[in-house]
Chains A and B, each alone.
Chain A
């Protein structure tokens, strides 16, 4: 019996704090699309217009909402076309409601750093230098999140550059890239690894190791999202409050805090509440909505009263009134219902149906299978032929396969073009989108070289994504940036990205296929291609044959 009591006492002493439970809850709610980790596909439903408050990459397979930082960069990059009211409103709302309470309670990457910091190693304490370094995140905010996307948006080339996401964000590398690449279904994406991924991977390792030795290494020195939210800390609804009459300026709260604060509730405070425990006069309390607190809990504890545990969300010196207990119970039930509902919805209700074989609703018409020939090489009556024909390649979207045929609607004029129309020529089939930076970059810098070098021997067909296809915008971009006498044929996808899935075999842009004169796939690549390194060797070899 004593033994079980000891075990019970041990578990009771080591149970997770309420803050940790809230962090886990938020991480699960933000990544409610659990089936995405198994299938390797991201959630593509309508709810993704919502922004999660913390740093959670929207390319993460489990992400249930958009990342506010990525959305801000893309909104700024598109600010010439659409004034980004929505994302500004989202930031105002999150800032005014939560401030850096988000960092302390809702951010999944913050949770990862907290857990990494628990690894048993000597720690580097904060000092004057770390305090100065904590302002570096404001430089990153201004340069990488605001200025660079705006510069590239105003550039004549007009392709978006989410600079922080592309070059720095460890959440994208860890949750997005590693999350996607860990699935077998995304093995083709490994072909895209290059200098950029090497740089980001090395940076991720630095952030992980840094978080082990320094508390919240990324949050303190590099996170632009925390920098933004910190500006609202003084006025946010949730936060910390110091009772001036009880405070004796002993400085123990600042000493205990592992963030680079100068005082409780300044722009570095993530409202973790560690300072509440150590304040000898009980001057520090949480600032919260009064609706759940009776008046005598707002002003802080009575001097000399016992210190409550810091994991209590709403500390008080008197027993909670029955109404408060009921309100808390209802809140807990509602939150659990929200999480359960989200998990059910994302994983069982709203999964965008994947229709890889449907083009125009007819699953059987795709591809001209008669051109594949009779694989048996027989005379048709069961007897072997005198001169057995070589087996034709199978229909598919891998190198060596015969490319499926498809009638592609033209993007800017009426009519269609079929993939078989270009038989007899080398065909370069490129899948792009006007919203995709690397797609536009390769169209501008790489594909004109094909026509300059090979003339009519090679035909380029650029197939625009059907999602968010705006004919006027795409046509205006093409007219502005591509040579007027270009022979590139512009088509557009249909259905649920049917051609992209069937012909290209993937679901990431850009994608490029090179077909020989008979329609056999010689080259298939997801990601930006270079003329000299990728296209020219294949086309030269095909023309030589």
Chain B
């Protein structure tokens, strides 16, 4: 079988399996919500099994599809394609600027950094509001759980979505156009911007040049601090608190209330 045919087979199989898995996932979610909304509490193993019985066929088909995909990969493997390079544009820019004899570090204007940091801080601060709104324990009563959940969740989700969109847009806007600067550097080099000091360097400094002694010192300090904190924690009862919590089933933590 030629690689092209094999690629087509894998692609078609993959798409079909993806659709099947998505449909199964949607059915799982709707069944879970349906069980909860049916209100037939307390739930039992039998009632839950009966509710999920209706989606048994898609589940079995999904399992079969996954197994089939595994067999396809094992016995008719696809040779992996060429790895596409993804340059870190900032490093490319630094390298080009070094060749031009400019400042080694490309610095963003301070105002851009301030906007980005401000957007991040505001996102976190605003993000707390929907979390508190949603998590207010006095809001939920079992009697009107449908109404109060909807009334509480929708505004919280709208708020959270707004925050995420604002943060994303501000982050995108604040990223300065490195590609444009790279184009300008390449044009300058082509016009005869000669190599200057530092231009002989063929590779940019990928990591900050931590002096080995500094790195060693930081590690020793961290190790010592970690040991001291652990010992203090054992002495002040912190370790016992961890034990006390860990040996009890935290029904809250696993979503059982």
Chain A interface (Cβ < 8 Å from any Cβ of B): 14, 42-46, 48-49, 51, 57-59, 63, 65-67, 70-71, 74-75, 78, 82-90, 92-93, 95-96, 118-122, 129, 132, 135-136, 139, 142-144, 147-148, 151, 161-163, 165-167, 169, 172-173, 176-177, 180, 184, 187, 189-202, 205-206, 208-209, 212-213, 234-235, 237, 242, 244-252, 254-256, 262-265, 278, 433, 435-438, 441, 445, 465, 467-468, 507-509, 525-528, 530, 532-534
Contacts and interface: CB of A to CB of B under 8 A. Distances in A.
A191 B240 contact: no
Interface of B: 10-11, 13-15, 17-18, 21-22, 25, 28-29, 32-33, 35-36, 41-45, 48, 66, 68-70, 72-74, 83-88, 90-92, 95, 120, 123-124, 127-128, 131-132, 135, 137-138, 140-143, 145, 149, 164, 168, 171-172, 202-208, 210, 215, 218-219, 222-223, 225-234, 236-257
A252 B83 contact: yes
A252 B69 CA distance: 28
A533 B41 CA distance: 11
Nearest to A197: B255
Contacts of B90: 262
B228 A71 contact: no
A258 B38 CA distance: 42
A51 B132 CA distance: 29
B36 A193 contact: yes
Nearest to A61: B249
13 contacts: A58-B246, A65-B246, A74-B242, A85-B229, A89-B232, A96-B226, A139-B123, A187-B45, A244-B203, A468-B244, A507-B249, A509-B251, A527-B256
Contacts of A526: 251
Nearest to B83: A256
B215 A235 contact: yes
Contacts of A74: 241-242, 245
B6 to A, nearest CB: 13
A119 B171 CA distance: 33
Contact of B95 (A67, A148, A249, A527): A249
Contacts of B83: 252, 255-256, 278
Given A89-B233, A119-B21, 17 more contacts: A57-B254, A63-B246, A82-B238, A85-B232, A87-B233, A90-B230, A120-B10, A166-B252, A176-B254, A190-B42, A195-B36, A197-B256, A249-B88, A251-B87, A256-B83, A262-B88, A528-B257
Contacts of A118: 70, 73
Given A252-B85, A438-B252, A247 B141 contact: no
Best-buried of B11, B22, B137, B252 by chain A (most CB within 10 Å): B252
A250 B18 CA distance: 34
B87 A48 contact: no
Nearest to A202: B29
B216 to A, nearest CB: 10
B255 A199 contact: yes
B131 A144 contact: yes
Given A83-B236, A208-B25, A245-B203, A254 B255 contact: no
Contacts of A42: 247, 249
A59 B219 contact: no
Contacts of B247: 42-45, 48, 467
B257 A435 contact: no
Contact of B70 (A65, A66, A71, A120): A120
Given A74-B241, A120-B72, A172-B255, A92 B88 contact: no
Nearest to A128: B172
Contact of B171 (A78, A132, A249): A132
B76 to A, nearest CB: 11
Nearest to B235: A85
A277 to B, nearest CB: 9
A437 B171 CA distance: 38
Q: Which 10 A-B pairs have CB atoms at the shortest separation, nearest pair first?
A: A86-B233, A120-B69, A89-B229, A86-B238, A251-B87, A191-B42, A176-B254, A89-B230, A200-B255, A66-B246
